[in-house]
Structure 1
Amino acid sequence: MAAFTADALALGAHWVYDIAQIKDKYGRLDFMASPEIAPFHKGKKKGDFTHYGDQMFLLLESLSYCSGFDFDNFSTQWKAMFEDYSGWVDGATKETLANLEAGKSPQEAGSGSTDLGGASRMVPLALFYGEDRETFMANAETQTAMTHNHPQVIQSARFFASAAIETAEGRKPLDALEMAQKELSSNSPIYQMITDGLESVDKETTQAIAGFGQMCETQAALPGTIHLIAKYPNDLKTAMVENVMAGGDSSARGILCGFILGICNGMNAVPEQWIKEMRLADRIRSLAGITK
């Protein structure tokens, strides 16, 4: 639920890189807003998801329908969604669809995009595989590679799946991140990105994320996400708001940050007003078995 609300909160300023514009329009964006200054999401309404959140919801539906991860079902439903999609279709999606149209199988059609958003979509897998580390990480990799077949993004999905399990087993978020990093080789394409994020914890968030880069690519978004988790381990709301105020691809960062902080802080940490204003909240509750 934290991951979904993070995406919905990001919608109002998603891909707005001028943080002064966000402040001028909203002050402190700690509420759901329609994408008035986020032109890529024209037509979306307050409480809707970005295209990342829509794909994450599709994965949740597929998992529920199949009682687990079924690649054929998910890939078929994903392709069908984008045949008549009213939201933004990003470069990774266009490339994947073109590869499918050219005759490639879903297993080999993934784009070469390095955008972290492909990994962030995997969050609902935790509902079915949160106690099965290897299966969780393997399925996280598979769903990511379907559209983002790049080592940086695939390893990021595996890393966050591992960190989520470490968190669910009772480790503090910082410890969980460090434990998951230890599973990587030092020459992993994301190892230094994680270190950079961890070492930025004393910086102000907008400064840290500006330094890494506000953009979608893993080399920017991954250390920015690590910064948020490490800096606000006990304050999910502040982490989500500071993420949005930092501009750029606040959706991918927010989803993964919300995922980890949601695990350790629980449902009470997710502002009830955010959930109330999220348009698919009741459907998510039903699919995920959330009783609150």
Structure 2
Amino acid sequence: MPSPSRIRDRAAGAIMGAFIGDALGLGPHWYYDLAELRRDYGDWIDGYTDPRPGRYHDGLKAGQLSQAGIILELLLSSLVECNGYQEADFCRRMDEQLFPLLDGTPFKGPGGYTSQSIRDAWRKRVQQGRPWGKTGGHADTTEAIERTLAIAVRYALQPARLADAVAANTVLTQVDNTLVSMTVAFGAVTGLLVQGHSLDTGLSDKLMGLVKSGELPFHSVTGKRLQPPRPGEPEPSPAGRFASPDALLTPSYMAAAAADPGIRIEPAWKVSLVYGMPCAIYHQLPAAYYLAARFHNDFEAAVLHAVNGGGQNQARAILTGTLAGAQTGLAGIPQRFIEGLEHADELLRLAHRLATQL
């Protein structure tokens, strides 16, 4: 395992990578017509941009955060001040600092746009008076990942606590079991990258090892390398919370595709066309894993190809920025991305404080 200072650098890199990805996507967010995207922003987006009038996030400025980044900062602040995940504290912050600014419609609230899962939670919590824990909906998007990545970084060295806390926070807004399993899997991947492991063809074997040891709550009856179980061999007991470990296998398949000379996605931003431009988690994760594996030592290339692919490029860039930043560390993130980020000093302070708590 790398030195403690290197782990802290990777942890801070993952957090700042997420904020950078969010801000990079602010201007060119949700262009599904790539010709329109190129007309408005040129052939290659290489930094922070203002949203165009009448588009998503209209009125915000280059380098600012969307609501996804704002909620990530809320959870990050809670983690830092509580020295770990305290659900009641995070929920209090949502009640006091976010929900009073919303009205249940998409274009109301900080960050210029409120996603479906947060609108659903607002309606259940504010209009219907439900307690937290009864506020989750069925959005199949990545909003939970976009905030729980901070939990994954905080518990990068404690996989079992990581899985429990990520799952608990996810179901506050999204309750589909498959989505929760994919969100926990992303967190587990992030944790291993912060530890110093590589996003390569061997990473999924390491994740499956954590399943076999009982540290990750996925159900599996196959052997370490997916060999069939021996006749008469009992199933694991207790059974894992999630019916299948397949979400843990995706990262290494994407890494294999990125490394295979017979599989070329050129230019790499076209990963959005291969895996899909929409918002759903099953479009977003393969693309983010692919880009982070292909550009494992080049943060700039990873996040810019994520943004230039159009569609739900903001989520793609947040996820890719997390994984890329966890691999390069904060030291590997170009300074211009830090300098152009609004309130960068405060975000860096929080990232460093979280990193020291590992």
Give the percent of matched residue pairs that are identical in Structure 1 and Structure 2: 24
Change (3 A) 1:59 1:88: same
Structure 1 residue 47 corresponds to structure 2 residue 63: yes
Structure 2 counterparts to residues 219-234 of structure 1, below 5 A? 219-234=282-297
- 1:120: which partner in 2? 146
The question of whether the paired residues in 2 share the 8 Å contact of 1:167 and 1:260 is answered with yes
Relative contact order (alpha carbons < 8 A, sep ≥ 6): 1 or 2 greater?
Answer: 2
Paired letter, 2:91: S
Paired letter, 1:226: Y
In the TM superposition, structure 1's runs of 4+ consecutive aligned residues that sit over 6 Å from their partners are none
SS in 2 for 1:121: helix
Change (3 A) 1:185 1:198: farther
SS in 1 for 2:133: coil
Taking structure 1 as the reference length, the TM-score comes to 0.90
Q: Mean Cα displacement is larger for which, 147-156 or 39-48?
A: 147-156
Paired letter, 1:44: L
Change (3 A) 1:75 1:23: same
Structure 2: unaligned runs, 5 residues or longer: 1-15, 102-108, 212-217, 221-243, 259-263
The question of whether the paired residues in 2 share the 8 Å contact of 1:51 and 1:89 is answered with yes
Change (3 A) 1:266 1:195: closer
Structure 1 residue 96 corresponds to structure 2 residue 121: yes
Taking structure 2 as the reference length, the TM-score comes to 0.74
Change (3 A) 1:111 1:34: same
Q: 1:82 aligns with which of 86, 99, 110?
A: 99
Which whole-Å CA distance do the structure 2 matches of 1:37 and 1:241 have between them?
Answer: 23
- 2:204: which partner in 1? 178
- 1:105: which partner in 2? 131
Deviation (angstroms), 1:24: 2.4
Structure 1: unaligned runs, 5 residues or longer: none
- 2:73: which partner in 1? 57
Change (3 A) 1:127 1:193: closer
Cα deviation digits, residues 31-86 of structure 1 (max 9, x gap): 11111277121122111112211111111111122222111111121233132133
Structure 1 residue 257 corresponds to structure 2 residue 317: no
Paired letter, 1:50: S
Paired letter, 1:75: C
Deviation (angstroms), 1:199: 5.6
Q: 1:136 aligns with which of 139, 149, 162?
A: 162
- 1:72: which partner in 2? 88
The question of whether the paired residues in 2 share the 8 Å contact of 1:16 and 1:37 is answered with no
Equivalenced residues, count? 291
The question of whether the paired residues in 2 share the 8 Å contact of 1:114 and 1:152 is answered with no
Deviation (angstroms), 1:176: 6.3
Q: 2:265 aligns with which of 192, 196, 203?
A: 203
Deviation (angstroms), 1:178: 2.3
Structure 1 residue 18 corresponds to structure 2 residue 33: yes
The question of whether the paired residues in 2 share the 8 Å contact of 1:166 and 1:179 is answered with no
Paired letter, 1:129: Y
Structure 1 residue 241 corresponds to structure 2 residue 241: no
Deviation (angstroms), 1:5: 0.7
The root-mean-square deviation of aligned C-alpha atoms, in Å, is 2.4
Paired letter, 1:10: G
The question of whether the paired residues in 2 share the 8 Å contact of 1:215 and 1:249 is answered with yes
Higher alpha-carbon Rg: 2
